């Protein structure tokens, strides 16, 4: 044991002394090993500091310097967590009527001083840059205790009713700065009169830095529909848990500083007890659903760490080859194979330890530097910098393990070298062909198993399918790595038909497969990752576009208002929107959107003729009054456009959906119905079940009447068009009773020559307000895609990784191939020939990486697409399957741009002169 410890001590001492002797190569290895440490520590520290706030930090953001913040009543008793961040409504009624205003608060806290927070939104504001829409808050910002809940970015707080503060986002939209003027437009003011303010400061909400809000004093003009959001509370002795519970019974959610900082026992918090009962009440916990994402993340992290080992491995391989004479001298002096292995492994330990320290330091430094910018991405101001020391130490140890793993294969090779062959300068390779064959067999077996997992995972449950497919992707990658030496050797056999530079590069790559294989594997892993990520993002975007259902046609606006006001609103709109080309007033079927306290409730459902609609049919019965409205009968209809299913003819169908269909026109003319639900029309007919409840006020039971009709029908696929669920003809609506008066709103749809601007919408809103008419405008925003930015980030990262892999491999190959360069010099090779050799080496490595990585990337992408489809099945979401889409940008970047860039870079950056002009023949 003592000899073993002494052997390791000697090996570590040699490794420590070797570090400064090969600074460039060792720095490269340290950089590779430090990369995961840097990323892990940096991201963890950033998240820990920016997202996981301490309780005092979160309380200060919620209540400022006050003792508590009490939200306005939610009209039902509530149970809440100790910090007030989570709560749930409870059955029952409020104790008295005190919960609807501050009277109830003062009944519990008679000595408290309340600072109300009034809120209205959305409101329109007008500035130098045009109109903007946001939230209007009125609160006594002159109270110093508001600091912390409202932070001043620049300028100062408002002091009079004519001054206002804006969030940076709102100021940017309005084109306003400190000292500028903005206007609360008349249609958004409570008295209908526009109010002008001077901007005196930029303020932000710590937990919502991207919010578009304006902050005014209570003395400022009020906005329309302004309500009390809550009260900041100053109370002698704070607000106790008993008082919090008393306020909960009045429907108030309370954030109390004293309770949050010193919470009561869990047994005294009903909200926590409810959560405990829920988890222990026999509800099955789908443990695989929790375990599968963790397993998938573990596989992804494992592949990432394998990538690091592949990048660092060639460095140790070259180092071992450059020091092979030194290892041979150790063997000649009596060292056995185990001792030589320990010397090489010690390099991995020492360099891994250095990488751990460097990575932790750089990660913490990068997190500290990035922390002030966290609000731009997270939407909230980060907390103080906090370092999880045990985790940081653990990740640093990971670098040592990675270094040890990276040095394993070179250590094994160095211990098996023949001493005399090494000292005489001869290089012997034993069993290379046998090892290559074994690697190919093992790689093919793993790849085959991975393909089976990817393409046959649908025979099991969705959760297990995710794990199986992701594991299959990992097996394919590992199998490809095992097959890489054979692929490199096979490609090198074509070198005889190539020019001198590529021929030498191919032969050198095949001869030094221990150096080339990890580099090519790292390269193809980066290429496969870029192609797979791009394909999945593009496929996801294609799915999003395919299944998107617009609420309106292009260049349409809708105004939701009362039916009687629709003509006057249309007249007002024509004065403000001169580009109106047409309009239609839509009446939804009876009962849709009515509140549950209406005396008559209607519902309609579709079903295939001959099937059971799922409820009692053609009968009258007594039913309990449902507080949520009527039950669903037949196929549930969820209209995406307007206010419900529509009554009209073919012309209305064209105006609403833009769909022209002769069969649909004929069915509507014959008193039928047009449906947009597939699979329910049979022999040109569909079943329609109509159900209505009649109940007296506050009655326990309602009289429910259910009738079933068979109507002529035609199905239309509304993909990409507004979908009203069905359009029923006026004759059929009269027959079924669906033309009864409805309490729902009317949708006035207006066609424009071009999209309405915010300024036009504000002017139209003001015109309606001048007529004392109420209406909510709506425009379809279209598909909002964020995948382009994400794809560019992923592509940029993988391109950098691929360039780094190619640069490392090229540099090591050139450093390891000095003898070849000396031979070129001896036979009269020009500087251009040596540069051409460097470029060819880079092109060979990147080219082989692309050749292997692109197909694997497509296989991985196919697996990701299948995992996404299984997720939909697991969530019982009826969505279209994700179409596989080729990511041309990623493909061109990785298959063409990266190889060309690395080849040109190697040619330009390599030395034109020989590393040693004196030819050495020994």
pLDDT one-digit tens code per residue, 100-123: 578 888 888 998 999 999 998 788
User: How many Cβ atoms from other residues are within 10 Å of residue 737's Cβ?
Assistant: 17
Q: What is the DSSP letter of 588?
A: B
* Residues with Cβ within 8 Å of residue 505, at least 6 apart in sequence: 813, 837, 840, 841, 843, 844
Mean pLDDT for the stretch of residues 224-239 = 90
Which of 134-143, 611-620, 673-682, 710-719 holds the top average pLDDT? 134-143
Strands (E), 65-112: 68-71, 78-80, 87-89
* Residues with Cβ within 8 Å of residue 471, at least 6 apart in sequence: 295, 299, 450, 453
Q: What is the pLDDT of residue 725?
A: 77
pLDDT band of residue 763 (cuts 50, 70, 90) is confident
Residue 582 CA to residue 9 CA, distance in Å, equals: 89
**Is residue 282 over pLDDT 50?**
no
Q: What is the pLDDT of residue 70?
A: 92
**pLDDT tens digit string along 88-106?**
877 766 665 544 578 888 8
The single residue listed with the structure tokens 């309380």 is 59
pLDDT band of residue 650 (cuts 50, 70, 90) is confident
* Residues with Cβ within 8 Å of residue 531, at least 6 apart in sequence: 853, 854, 857, 858, 860, 861, 887, 890, 891, 894
**Is residue 801 over pLDDT 50?**
yes
If one compares 918 and 487, the residue with the highest pLDDT of the two is 487
Q: What is the pLDDT of residue 426?
A: 58
Query: Bridge-partner residues for 777, per DSSP?
Result: 559
pLDDT band of residue 627 (cuts 50, 70, 90) is very low
CA-based nearest residue to 716, from 748, 686, 749, 750 = 686
Residue 318 CA to residue 812 CA, distance in Å, equals: 7
Spatial contact of 554 and 755, defined as CB atoms under 8 Å apart: yes
Q: What percent of the chain has pLDDT over 70?
A: 71
Distance of CA 742 to the CA centre of its chain: 41
Spatial contact of 167 and 201, defined as CB atoms under 8 Å apart: no
Residue 383 CA to residue 371 CA, distance in Å, equals: 8
**Is residue 214 over pLDDT 90?**
yes
Q: What is the pLDDT of residue 202?
A: 93
How many Cα atoms occupy the beta-carbon half-sphere of 61 within 13 Å? 18
Q: What is the pLDDT of residue 133?
A: 85
Mean pLDDT for the stretch of residues 563-577 = 78
pLDDT band of residue 839 (cuts 50, 70, 90) is confident
Kind and range of the H or E run holding 165: strand 163-166
Q: What is the pLDDT of residue 201?
A: 93
**Percentages (nearest 5) of helix, strand, coil residues in the chain:** 55, 15, 30
**Is residue 644 over pLDDT 60?**
no
**pLDDT tens digit string along 657-675?**
888 888 888 988 889 998 8
How many Cα atoms occupy the beta-carbon half-sphere of 829 within 13 Å? 22
Residue 383 CA to residue 206 CA, distance in Å, equals: 10
CA-based nearest residue to 35, from 531, 665, 522 = 522
* Residues with Cβ within 8 Å of residue 376, at least 6 apart in sequence: 209
H helices within 419-565, ranges in order? 419-423, 432-455, 462-492, 500-511, 513-547
If one compares 903 and 94, the residue with the highest pLDDT of the two is 903
pLDDT band of residue 410 (cuts 50, 70, 90) is confident
Q: What's the sign of the alpha-carbon dihedral 644, 647, 650, 655?
A: negative
pLDDT band of residue 620 (cuts 50, 70, 90) is confident
For residue 445 the two structure tokens come to 């077996």
Spatial contact of 577 and 633, defined as CB atoms under 8 Å apart: no
If one compares 184 and 887, the residue with the highest pLDDT of the two is 184
**pLDDT tens digit string along 687-700?**
888 877 776 666 66
Query: Bridge-partner residues for 135, per DSSP?
Result: 213
Q: What is the pLDDT of residue 217?
A: 94
For residue 276 the two structure tokens come to 């405990």
**pLDDT tens digit string along 426-469?**
555 444 555 556 666 776 777 777 777 666 655 555 556 556 66
Q: What is the pLDDT of residue 643?
A: 47
pLDDT band of residue 136 (cuts 50, 70, 90) is very high
Average pLDDT of the chain? 75
Angle among Cα 295, 296, 302 to the nearest 5 degrees reads 90
Q: What percent of the chain has pLDDT over 90?
A: 9
Q: State phi, psi for 293 to the nearest 5 degrees.
A: -60, -35
Cis ω for the linkage preceding 122 (within 30 of 0): yes
* Residues with Cβ within 8 Å of residue 756, at least 6 apart in sequence: 557, 577, 764, 779
Query: Bridge-partner residues for 690, per DSSP?
Result: 604, 707
If one compares 596 and 344, the residue with the highest pLDDT of the two is 344
Q: What is the DSSP letter of 448?
A: H
pLDDT band of residue 306 (cuts 50, 70, 90) is low
User: Considering just the CA atoms, what is the radius of gyration of the chain in Å?
Assistant: 36
3 state SS of 91? coil
Mean pLDDT for the stretch of residues 903-911 = 77
pLDDT band of residue 137 (cuts 50, 70, 90) is very high
Kind and range of the H or E run holding 126: strand 113-127
DSSP 295-343: HHHHHHHHHHHHHHHHHHHHHHHHHHHHTHHHHHHHHHTT--HHHHHHH
Q: What is the pLDDT of residue 417?
A: 66
Mean pLDDT for the stretch of residues 714-732 = 83
Backbone angle region of 109, left / alpha / beta, with phi > 0 → left and psi within -120 to 50 → alpha: beta
Long-range contacts of 102-111 (CB under 8 A, 24+ apart): 102/228, 102/231, 104/73, 104/247, 104/250, 104/252, 105/70, 105/231, 105/233, 105/247, 105/250, 105/252, 108/243, 108/246, 108/247, 108/250, 109/233, 109/235, 109/239, 109/243, 111/235, 111/236
Residue 363 CA to residue 367 CA, distance in Å, equals: 6
Mean pLDDT for the stretch of residues 516-529 = 77
Q: What is the pLDDT of residue 235?
A: 92
**Is residue 365 over pLDDT 60?**
yes
């Amino acid at each position: 044991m003592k000899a073993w410890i002494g052997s390791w001590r000697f090996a570590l001492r040699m490794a420590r002394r070797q570090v400064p002797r090969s600074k460039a190569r060792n720095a490269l290895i340290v950089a590779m090993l430090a990369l995961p440490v840097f990323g892990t520590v940096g991201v963890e520290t950033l998240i820990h500091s920016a997202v996981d706030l301490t309780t005092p930090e979160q309380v200060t953001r919620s209540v400022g310097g006050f003792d508590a913040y009490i939200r306005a009543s939610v009209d039902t008793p509530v149970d809440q967590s100790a910090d007030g961040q989570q709560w749930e409504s409870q059955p029952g009624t409020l104790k008295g009527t005190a919960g609807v205003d501050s009277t109830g608060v003062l009944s519990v806290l008679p000595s408290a001083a309340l600072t109300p927070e009034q809120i209205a939104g959305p409101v329109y504001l007008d500035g130098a840059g045009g109109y903007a829409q946001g939230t209007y808050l009125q609160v006594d910002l002159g109270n110093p205790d508001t600091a912390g809940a409202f932070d001043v970015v620049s300028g100062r707080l408002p002091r009079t009713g004519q001054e206002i503060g804006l969030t940076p986002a709102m100021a940017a939209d309005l084109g306003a700065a400190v000292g500028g003027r903005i206007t609360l437009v008349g249609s958004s003011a409570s008295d209908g009169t526009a109010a002008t303010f001077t901007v005196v400061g930029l303020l932000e909400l710590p937990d919502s830095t991207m919010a578009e809000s304006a902050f005014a004093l209570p003395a400022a003009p009020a906005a329309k529909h302004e309500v009390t959001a809550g009260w900041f509370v100053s109370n002698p002795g704070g607000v106790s848990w008993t008082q919090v519970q008393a306020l909960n019974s009045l429907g108030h959610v309370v954030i109390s500083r004293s309770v949050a900082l010193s919470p009561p026992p869990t047994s005294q918090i009903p909200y926590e007890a409810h959560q405990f009962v829920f988890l222990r009440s026999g509800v099955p916990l789908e443990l695989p659903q929790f375990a599968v994402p963790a397993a998938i993340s573990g596989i992804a992290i494992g592949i990432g760490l394998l990538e690091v080992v592949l990048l660092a491995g060639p460095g140790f391989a070259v180092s071992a080859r450059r020091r092979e004479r030194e290892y041979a001298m150790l063997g000649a002096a009596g060292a056995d194979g185990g001792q030589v292995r320990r010397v090489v492994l010690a390099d991995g330990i020492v360099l891994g330890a250095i990488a751990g320290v460097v990575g932790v330091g750089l990660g913490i430094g990068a997190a500290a530097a990035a922390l002030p910018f966290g609000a731009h991405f997270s939407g909230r101001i980060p907390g103080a910098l906090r370092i999880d020391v045990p985790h940081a130490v653990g990740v640093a140890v990971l670098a040592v393990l990675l270094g040890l793993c990276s040095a394993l294969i070179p250590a094994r090779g160095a211990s098996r070298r023949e001493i005399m062959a090494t000292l005489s300068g001869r290089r012997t390779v034993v069993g290379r062909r046998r090892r290559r064959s074994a690697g190919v067999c093992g790689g093919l077996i793993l790849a085959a198993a991975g393909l089976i997992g990817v393409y046959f995972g649908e025979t099991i449950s969705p959760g297990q399918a995710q794990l199986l497919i992701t594991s299959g992707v990992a097996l394919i990658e590992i199998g490809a790595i095992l097959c890489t030496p054979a692929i490199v050797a096979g490609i090198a056999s074509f070198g005889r038909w190539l020019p001198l530079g590529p021929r030498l590069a191919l032969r050198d790559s095949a001869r030094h497969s221990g150096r080339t294989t990890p580099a090519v594997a790292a390269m193809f892993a980066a290429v496969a990752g870029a192609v797979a990520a791009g394909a999945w993002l593009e496929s996801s975007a294609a799915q999003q576009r395919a299944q998107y259902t617009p609420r309106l046609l292009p260049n349409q606006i809708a105004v939701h208002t009362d039916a009687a006001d629709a003509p006057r609103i249309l007249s007002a709109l024509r004065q403000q929107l001169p580009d109106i080309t047409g309009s239609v007033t839509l009446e939804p079927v009876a009962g849709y959107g009515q509140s549950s306290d209406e005396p008559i409730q209607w519902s309609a459902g579709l079903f295939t003729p001959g099937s059971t609609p799922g409820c009692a049919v053609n009968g009258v019965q007594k039913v309990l009054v449902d507080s949520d409205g009527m039950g669903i009968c037949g196929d549930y209809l969820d209209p995406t456009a307007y206010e419900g299913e529509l009554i009209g003819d073919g012309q209305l169908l064209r105006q609403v959906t833009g769909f022209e269909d002769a069969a649909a026109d004929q069915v509507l003319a014959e008193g039928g119905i047009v449906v947009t639900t597939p699979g329910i029309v049979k022999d040109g007919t569909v079943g329609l079940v109509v159900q209505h409840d009649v109940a007296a006020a506050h009655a326990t039971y309602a009289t429910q009447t259910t009738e079933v009709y068979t109507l002529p029908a035609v199905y239309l696929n509304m993909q990409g068009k507004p979908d009203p669920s069905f359009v029923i003809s006026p004759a059929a609506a009269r027959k079924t009773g669906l033309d009864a008066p409805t309490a729902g709103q009317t949708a006035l749809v207006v066609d424009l020559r071009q999209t309405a601007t915010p300024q036009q919408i504000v002017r139209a809103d003001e015109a309606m307000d001048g007529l004392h008419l109420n209406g909510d405008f709506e425009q379809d925003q279209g598909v909002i895609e964020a995948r382009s930015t994400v794809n560019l980030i992923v592509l940029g990262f993988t391109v950098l990784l691929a360039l780094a892999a190619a640069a490392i491999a090229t540099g090591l190959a050139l450093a390891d191939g000095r003898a070849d360069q000396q031979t070129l010099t001896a036979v009269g090779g020009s500087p251009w020939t040596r540069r051409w050799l460097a470029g060819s080496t880079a092109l060979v490595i990147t080219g082989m990486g692309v050749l292997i990585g692109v197909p694997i990337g497509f296989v991985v992408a196919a697996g990701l697409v299948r995992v996404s489809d299984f997720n939909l099945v697991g969530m019982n979401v009826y969505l279209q399957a994700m179409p596989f889409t080729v990511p041309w940008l990623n493909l061109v970047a990785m298959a063409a741009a990266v190889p060309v860039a690395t080849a040109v870079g190697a040619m330009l950056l390599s030395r034109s002169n020989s590393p040693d002009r004196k030819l050495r023949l020994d």
